[in-house]
Each structure stands twice: as C-alpha cells, then as structure tokens.
C-alpha cells in the first residue's frame, strides 16, 4: 500500500488527484479510471472535512490492491466516530423540493465502490473502499 498524507483542506484535492493518477500509471492501469477513483476519494475526504468532529491537520490516503482491484484507505486522525456505512440511504425517489439536503455524496460512493468498510480505532476513522477497474 502506497500512502501519503494531505492537509485537511479542500485545496489538497488537486494533489490527491495527481497522487491517484500517478498510482494508476505505476500499476499500468488505464488512466481513465482516475475519475472514478478520484471521485470516491473526493467524496469521503470532503465529508471528513465537513462533518468529522475534531480533526488533526492531515488525512492519510493509501492506495493498493492487485489485478484490477484498487483498495483505497482514507484515515482521519483525532476525530469522533462517524460510520459512513451506517449512514441512512439518500431518498432519491422523492421530488427534489421535498428532499432533505445532503447524502448524495455517500449515495455516489455506495454506487461506485465495490465494497466499503469502516473502522474506528485510537480516535482515527478509517474508511476502506475497493473499486474493481473494468477494462
């Protein structure tokens, strides 16, 4: 697993996208998959910034896997637990005017990722996503 730490700031997104592209290239994977992998990371990363109570100065992002699978870990330090796997599903069937704001980012993550895991240990929240990259 290749891991890098990024400032806990939306301005880090460009660096994160470069990290994803570089990782996929190093594995010989189609760079076109950067969009899906980057979107998964962006949604979880921005949720951590917006909603995690507490939070250190950095978030660690790890990329690994084998074959066509990419395993993504996103670790937020010194935060209270918020298990994204237990968050309610977005109500996408109701008319827009009747919907409660939020939840669409996690809806996207649930649709794009092949698996989602959550662990909370020593005041660190760790989200693990697996994405199977289909040629």
pLDDT at residue 24 in the model: 96
Is residue 53 very low, low, confident or very high in pLDDT (cuts 50, 70, 90)?
A: confident
Q: Is there a contact between 16 and 49 (Cβ–Cβ < 8 Å)?
A: no
Which residue do the tokens 């996207």 mark?
108
What are the residues facing 125 on neighbouring strands? 76, 120
Is residue 103 very low, low, confident or very high in pLDDT (cuts 50, 70, 90)?
A: low
Which residue do the tokens 């409660």 mark?
100
Phi and psi torsions of 81, nearest 5°: -70, 135
The domains found in the chain, sorted by start residue, are 2-132 (3.30.565.10)
pLDDT at residue 94 in the model: 59
Per 3-state DSSP, the chain is made up of helix, strand and coil in percentages (nearest 5) of 40, 30, 30
pLDDT tens digits, 108-127? 899 999 999 999 999 999 99
**DSSP string for residues in 87-99:** SPPP--SS-GGGS
pLDDT tens digits, 13-32? 999 999 999 999 999 999 99
| Average pLDDT rounded to a whole number, residues 94-115 | 73
pLDDT tens digits, 30-44? 999 999 999 999 999
Is residue 45 very low, low, confident or very high in pLDDT (cuts 50, 70, 90)?
A: very high
pLDDT at residue 101 in the model: 56
The C-alpha angle with vertex 58 and arms to 10 and 60, in degrees rounded to 5, equals: 100
């Amino acid at each position: 697993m290749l891991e890098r730490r990024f400032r806990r700031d939306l301005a880090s997104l460009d660096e994160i996208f470069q990290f994803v592209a570089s990782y996929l290239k190093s594995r010989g994977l189609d760079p076109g998959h950067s969009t899906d992998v980057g979107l998964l990371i962006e949604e979880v990363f921005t949720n951590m910034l917006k909603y995690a109570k507490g939070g250190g100065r950095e978030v660690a992002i790890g990329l690994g896997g084998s074959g066509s699978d990419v395993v993504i870990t996103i670790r937020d330090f010194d935060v209270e637990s918020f298990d994204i796997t237990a968050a309610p599903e977005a109500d996408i069937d109701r008319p827009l005017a009747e919907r409660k704001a939020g939840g669409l980012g996690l809806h996207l993550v649930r649709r794009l990722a092949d698996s989602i895991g959550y662990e909370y240990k020593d005041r660190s929240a760790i989200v693990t996503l697996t994405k199977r990259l289909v040629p």
